[in-house]
């Protein structure tokens, strides 16, 4: 299995630009999680989906952030407009909830820099 796939791996953009991060979960996994990791705040859950439905978006910092999961094999996290304080590593993770364990499998992350 290829694991969780994220793109791009690195993104450098200017303040005010729109940023779209992409994630392909592991085939057969029905839960998907978006996290943000910074030195100061550690790893924070932004939003998660079960069976493509958003369950908890309480971690989404502002209306500038939005996430979609149009089907079981694809999700996006969009920031519009981006700000320098959004600079972080964004991780996507997936998990199989039925018959699975608590194991969330993380992707390699997208390192976002907003200038």
Partner 1 sequence: QKEVEQDPGPLSVPEGAIVSLNCTYSNSAFQYFMWYRQYSRKGPELLMYTYSSGNKEDGRFTAQVDKSSKYISLFIRDSQPSDSATYLCAMRYNTDKLIFGTGTRLQVFP
Q: Which residue ranges make up the site for partner 1 (CB under 8 A)?
A: 4, 31, 33, 41-45, 48, 50, 55-56, 91, 93, 95, 97, 101-109
Angle of CA points 56, 57, 58, to nearest 5°: 95
What is the spatial distance between Cα 77 and Cα 94, in angstroms, rounded to a whole number? 15
- What gap in Å lies between CA 46 and CA 18, rounded to an integer? 18
Pairing of strands 42-50, 31-38: antiparallel
CB nearer partner 1, residue 74 or residue 106: 106
Token reading at 25: 């979960």
Least separation in angstroms between CB 100 and partner 1: 11
Residue 79 CB, shortest distance to partner 1, in Å, is 20
Which C-beta is closer to partner 1: that of 55 or that of 115?
55
Q: Nearer Cβ to partner 1, position 17 or 51?
A: 51
């Amino acid at each position: 299995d290829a694991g969780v796939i994220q793109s791009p791996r690195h993104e450098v953009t200017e303040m005010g630009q729109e940023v779209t991060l992409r994630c392909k979960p592991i085939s057969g996994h029905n839960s998907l999680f978006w996290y943000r990791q910074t030195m100061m705040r550690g790893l924070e859950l932004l939003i998660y989906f079960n069976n493509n439905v958003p369950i908890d978006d309480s971690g989404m910092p502002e209306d500038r952030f939005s996430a979609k999961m149009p089907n079981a094999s694809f999700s996006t996290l969009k920031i519009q407009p981006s700000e320098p304080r959004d600079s972080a590593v964004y991780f996507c993770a997936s998990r199989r909830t039925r018959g699975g364990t608590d194991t969330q499998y993380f992707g390699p992350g997208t390192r976002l820099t907003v200038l």
